[in-house]
Amino acid sequence: MSDKPWGGRFEGATEKNVEEFTSSLHFDRRLYRQDIRGSMAHARMLARQGVIRAAEAEAIVGGLEEILAEIEAGRFAFDPALEDIHMAVEARLTEKIGETGRKLHTARSRNDQVALDVRLFLAEAVEELLAALADLRRAGARLARRHFGLIMPGYTHLQHAQPVLVAHHLLAYDEMFRRDQARLKESLARIKVSPLGAAALAGTTFPVDPEGVARELGFPQVFRNSMDAVSDRDFILEFLSHAAILMVHLSRLSEELIIWNCPEFGFVEIADAYATGSSIMPQKKNPDVAELIRGKVGRVAGSLMGLLMTVKGLPLTYNRDLQEDKEPLFDAVDTALGSVRLMTGMLEGLTLRPERLAAALKGGFLNATDMADYLVNQGVPFRTAHEQVGRAVRYAEFQGKELQELTLEELQRFASQAGPDLFDWLKLENVVARRRSPGGTAPERVEAALRKVEKELGL
Ligand code: ARG
């Protein structure tokens, strides 16, 4: 059976089921560009090092260029019998340029080759995701700017807590996405490590130049241990973990948009372009995009768990199990990128409804902490003030009123230190404005924070 690149050792043919079961071509063909790029760098290196002749390297590179064009034009016949993209490209190369094509794999194994391909792919994907995250942050910052000054209830336990600026709430998400960017950016240093030259596992007898290959590919580092180079998948696990955290952030924002969009809240309206209808209920306009982003966290987190389990019991070095790294990676890249882009569009088209926000501010004693703080300023210990206001709230609730709707006499029944200036003190604009502590929601703090973000994003 010598029609397989490894056919020399074999007498019997591969079982059809085995061929299907072991083949990765239907998904790893996505790596064709990276595979060809890596092979070109490898061939040039072999020539520089005198392993093959310059003319041979030229023929190989020329052939690979043509194959690239064939694949890109959809003219490449992917033969399912050829296991993976590496074999598919190499077989076609030999078909095109003859015997010289059979020299390409000198001093290389698919083990270092596939590790390189995935690293090249992921480096590009991370750059794309970083750019998408910058766009998302821009959309969030623009929304915050457009509605600067608008106040909304801040929640803990999904109960009214204290009033905050809408911009402050939005900038909390900006912090999350900024950390996501930082994590991804930082991980590039561990992705851009060239494994080429490790060969199967132990290095090679040929005088290879891994540094030169890495330089040509734009990778600042090369592997240090050949055995690690072919079996390390940490960089994928790291990415999946970062992607899962990013998805969790998107999911939390989605959840808020869904809540804010429901009629009971009505704080926002999601644009028609980002909603869908019902096949039975004519009145429906559902926030399906937000729901799907929230739902897709499961896929990405699942991919992370899946690959952790795949790698956990593997002895050194390469094992075929590692072929299972690609589908979860591709899916996570597509899901994260798609989700970030759709969230960007949703924020860009989002309408806020100030009248509904104002209505929501009316209930829930959002200024109760501030009445306690007022009393503290009159010399009442905080714990005592807390208790006094608590009693006042209970009384007001019974009357169906807010604190500021009680009379001064009523308030003084619970807190004797209350004076006529308390009413002004309790106005929600003042409640917000007083939170000048670092990172707080006072407009001047939020303005400075937003300006910083705008500057960072080139707005
Ligand atoms: N398709 C394989 C993978 O994705 C490539 C490496 C195969 N190496 C081997 N010795 N069978 O991992």
Half-sphere exposure of 182 (CA within 13 A, CB side): 7
Pair (150, 209) in one structural domain: yes
User: Is residue 255 assigned to a domain?
Assistant: yes
pLDDT at 48: 98
User: Is residue 2 assigned to a domain?
Assistant: no
Q: In terms of C-beta density within 10 A (0-12 exposed, 13-18 middle, 19 or more buried), how is residue 326 classed?
A: buried
Picking from 338, 359, 380, the residue at the C-terminal end of a domain is 359
Pair (123, 268) in one structural domain: yes
| Among 29, 320, 325, residue to substitute to test ligand 1 (most atoms within 8 Å of Cβ) | 320
State yes or no: is 157 an active-site residue: yes
Show the CA angle centred on residue 362, arms to residues 359 and 368, nearest 5°: 150
Ligand 1 centroid distance, CA of 342 (Å): 35
Pair (185, 208) in one structural domain: yes
User: Is residue 137 assigned to a domain?
Assistant: yes
| Among 10, 114, 122, 201, residue to substitute to test ligand 1 (most atoms within 8 Å of Cβ) | 114
Show the CA angle centred on residue 354, arms to residues 287 and 456, nearest 5°: 75
**CATH number of the domain bearing residue 118:** 1.20.200.10
pLDDT at 4: 78
Give the other-Cβ count within 10 Å of 329's Cβ: 24
User: Is residue 3 assigned to a domain?
Assistant: no
pLDDT at 281: 84
Q: How many domains does the chain contain in total? A: 3
Pair (379, 440) in one structural domain: yes
Given 23, 109, 157, 386, the catalytic residue: 157
**CATH number of the domain bearing residue 371:** 1.10.40.30
Pair (338, 229) in one structural domain: yes
User: Is residue 124 assigned to a domain?
Assistant: yes
Pair (309, 195) in one structural domain: yes
pLDDT at 16: 86
Which range of residues forms the domain containing residue 60?
A: 12-106
Given 2, 24, 251, 278, the catalytic residue: 278
Ligand 1 cavity residues, CB under 6 Å: 24, 28, 84, 110-111, 114, 318, 320, 322-323
User: Is residue 130 assigned to a domain?
Assistant: yes
Closest-lying ligand 1 atom to the alpha carbon of residue 326:
4
Pair (85, 206) in one structural domain: no
User: Rounded CA gap, 247 and 300, in Å?
Assistant: 8
Ligand 1 centroid distance, CA of 82 (Å): 12
Ligand 1 centroid distance, CA of 87 (Å): 10
Q: In order along the chain (459 residues), what is the average pLDDT of each group of 10 residues?
A: 73 87 96 98 98 98 98 95 94 97 98 98 98 98 98 97 98 98 98 98 98 98 98 98 98 98 96 88 90 98 98 98 98 98 98 97 96 97 98 97 97 97 97 98 98 98
Closest-lying ligand 1 atom to the alpha carbon of residue 200:
10
**CATH number of the domain bearing residue 82:** 1.10.275.10
Closest CA to 196 of 59, 33, 45: 45
Picking from 359, 389, 405, the residue at the C-terminal end of a domain is 359
pLDDT at 69: 98
Helix/strand/coil for 151:
strand
For residue 367, give every residue at least 6 positions away whose Cβ sits within 8 Å of its Cβ, in sequence order, or none: 162, 163, 402, 403, 404, 426, 427, 428, 431
Structure tokens at 284: 């429906």
Pair (307, 332) in one structural domain: yes
User: Is residue 309 assigned to a domain?
Assistant: yes
| Among 111, 201, 230, residue to substitute to test ligand 1 (most atoms within 8 Å of Cβ) | 111
Ligand 1 centroid distance, CA of 108 (Å): 12
Pair (290, 159) in one structural domain: yes
User: Rounded CA gap, 269 and 351, in Å?
Assistant: 5
For residue 8, give every residue at least 6 positions away whose Cβ sits within 8 Å of its Cβ, in sequence order, or none: 2
**Which residue, judged by its Cα, is nearest atom 4 of ligand 1?**
323
pTM for the full predicted model: 0.95
Picking from 359, 394, 429, the residue at the C-terminal end of a domain is 359
Ligand 1 centroid distance, CA of 80 (Å): 15
**Which residue, judged by its Cα, is nearest atom 12 of ligand 1?**
323
User: Rounded CA gap, 137 and 249, in Å?
Assistant: 13
Pair (141, 229) in one structural domain: yes
pLDDT at 1: 40
State yes or no: is 231 an active-site residue: no
Pair (352, 380) in one structural domain: no
Length of the chain: 459
Pair (153, 291) in one structural domain: yes
Ligand 1 centroid distance, CA of 437 (Å): 57
User: Is residue 99 assigned to a domain?
Assistant: yes
Are 381 and 174 spatial neighbours (Cβ–Cβ below 8 Å)? no
Query: CA distances (Å), 422 to each of 326, 368, 397, in order?
Result: 63, 12, 19
